[in-house]
Amino acid sequence: MTNYAVELSYDGTGFNGWQSQPGGGSVQNEVEAALRELGESSAVYGAGRTDSGVHARAQVANFRLGGEWEPRRLTLALNSKMSGSASVMRSAIVQDGFHARHNAKAREYRYFIWNSSVCYPHIRPYVLWLCGSHYDWRGAESAARLLIGRHDFRSFCRSADCPDTTERTVSYARLVRRGDLVILRIVADSFLTNMVRIAVGNLIEIASGRRDEEWLRKLLLGGQGRIASAQTVAPSGLFLWRVFYNEKISWS
């Protein structure tokens, strides 16, 4: 059996997230179904369990196949069997011990906000559209830096899915504005359920003037729980942007 890695890009709008569902409808289900159509049966392991409606620019997954596939041919073969809402961008043969999730040292997510009274219809499904003109994004940019470091993100996790250990290490967090487009870029060793979407909700509260940096600082101590944070923003603006590995993957 040969271990393969693929880099996937997908529009999450019509998917029930990455994780396999009993009734189908997930990205994992689609990739496994495509493999079966190619005469291969294998479990597929993803680097990030994106939620329903969340997109990916570069999700990484791995699986083992009995047949011998040249990586570029595998990319084209899989895409011929997939819906078009998800595409394999490139493939590689990797070491037998490689696991897309367990070997990942960090992941980058990006969240896109469009802050204008009007929105291009082409981008509307992929942003959070905020119409008001009263947002102080410079203040939110300063607050976003507070996310960097090791913190207890219990207030940034969906209550039903919070694990016992809610500390995570954020190595990079930056909020930038380019005209009407506002982007949160965040890199961490791993993420809690809804962590990025709740973080964005909190930064919007600060940008709107309803909350301040001291409030966010207290949330990062973790003792207040989910109820103390702002709302979870829509999944439409969230993208799994990149997965980082110590291993060098020879993509084709």
Catalytically active residues, by annotation: 51
Measured CA to CA, the distance from residue 116 to residue 99 in angstroms comes to 42
Measured CA to CA, the distance from residue 218 to residue 231 in angstroms comes to 17
Contact 251, 7 (CB under 8 A): yes
Closest to 95 in 3D by CA, of 3, 20, 196, 18: 3
Q: Cα dihedral angle (112, 118, 121, 123), rounded to 10 degrees? A: -10
Neighbours of 124 (CB within 10 A): 11
Measured CA to CA, the distance from residue 8 to residue 247 in angstroms comes to 18
Q: What's the DSSP call for residue 236?
A: G
Measured CA to CA, the distance from residue 95 to residue 249 in angstroms comes to 9
Structural element, H or E, at residue 240:
strand 238-245
Neighbours of 249 (CB within 10 A): 19
Residue 176, helix vs strand vs coil: strand
